[in-house]
Structure 1
Amino acid sequence: MRALISIDYTNDFVATDGKLTTGEAGQAIEEALFAVTTQYFQQGDYVVFAIDGHDPSDQFHPENRLFPPHNVIGTSGRELYGALADFYRENQADKTVYWIDKRHYSAFSGTDLDIRLRERGITELCLTGVCTDICVLHTAVDAYNLGYRLVIPKAAVASFDASGHEWALRHFENTLGAKII
């Protein structure tokens, strides 16, 4: 069994005026990311939206010292970007679509993601979204350590750091044994 984890493809990370945007790099993957998402959905696979959610007044959250406020809960910046927003609105009631609020880079950190995947017998994860070298990377490392097989569609991940993006893709393949497609 397999699942797709769509990571942080939100207005703040992708839109031109996003608070911590990947800009053109993130916008360029929209079509591929949407195609992969709909393919998994149409085949009955589990589709998880793992979305950063922050409270800028949280004095204990380390990201509040590292990055400007972004993906603030209750703002339009936290909404899914582009065609993915419509996809989620239209399919959110489907039992194969799940939204996870995450506080940390990894979609596994402090969430019930691993439990939900194991309940469904899922052994392979396809990771899409942004940022390749931050949230996608940390999710991939945790998934690897939990024993999941990884697939990363190169055309469906992006970062605001081109060299970090390329390094992460090599790391997925060479260190985590991910299949890069």
Structure 2
Amino acid sequence: MDSHTALLIIDYTNDFVADKGALTCGAPGQKLEPAIINLADQFVQNGDWVILPTDVHKPNDPYHPETKLFPPHNVRNTWGREFYGKLADWYRDHQKDDKVYMYDKTRYSAFAGTDLDIRLRERHVDTVHLVGVCSDICVLHTAVDAYNLSYNIVVHKSGVAGLTPEGNDWALNHFEHVLGAKVED
């Protein structure tokens, strides 16, 4: 990894991962925790960026398209929006690091409606490493936008999970064969 690299930890929150989460991928998501923490530690030690784009919603927002598709989830200032498990502690320990930050996103893609592309380009980042959930929704849409913005993409297989195993398998295939991403363990 070099200084032109960023790790994006996408939506690793209680609502998407915990057993009682509103829109959880459950055990497959919970199993990602050690790999995500390990990668985050590696990126910090190497002086690379660790960015945590995190979904945020208002309950029953009539103007948001997800309201029709999913139950309320990742509502601001709720348990569901807190980082899952050890990532919560990891972030608390690293949130003052210059190269670690979290920001709100309101759409599937971490790029949609945010300044992520500007921030990455200002920092001369050309390669994004993707982990988090759900591989077949938010990670996928982030990867599609990264592809369209000409970033190199690395997806860590041990760091992503989908709402279903079939969805995860489909997304991994799509990352590699349609988006040209490097898929590694």
TM-score of the superposition, structure 1-length normalised?
0.98
Letter in 2 for 1:65: K
**Identity, % of aligned pairs?**
57
Unaligned runs of at least 5 residues, structure 2: none
Letter in 2 for 1:88: Y
The whole-number CA distance in structure 2 between the counterparts of 1:5 and 1:159 is: 16
Aligned counterpart for 1:64 among listed residues 67, 70, 80: 67
Q: Residue 20 of structure 1 aligns with which residue?
A: 23
How much has 1:40 moved relative to structure 2? 0.9
TM-score of the superposition, structure 2-length normalised?
0.96
Letter in 1 for 2:163: F
The whole-number CA distance in structure 1 between the counterparts of 2:19 and 2:42 is: 27
The whole-number CA distance in structure 2 between the counterparts of 1:91 and 1:30 is: 16
2:85 is the counterpart of 1:82 = yes
Q: After TM superposition, list the pairs within 5 Å mapping 1:28-107 onto structure 2.
A: 28-107=31-110
Query: How many residues are matched?
Result: 181
Q: Residue 164 of structure 2 aligns with which residue?
A: 161
Q: Secondary structure at the match of 1:176?
A: coil
Q: Residue 109 of structure 1 aligns with which residue?
A: 112
Letter in 2 for 1:105: Y
Structure 1 ranges of 4+ moved more than 6 A: none
Unaligned runs of at least 5 residues, structure 1: none
Q: Which moved more, 1:57-66 or 1:166-175?
A: 57-66
The whole-number CA distance in structure 1 between the counterparts of 2:53 and 2:44 is: 16
Once the two structures are superposed, residues 88-119 of structure 1 have per-residue CA deviations (whole angstroms, 9 ceiling, x without a partner) of: 11111111011110000000000010000000
2:179 is the counterpart of 1:176 = yes
How much has 1:29 moved relative to structure 2? 1.0
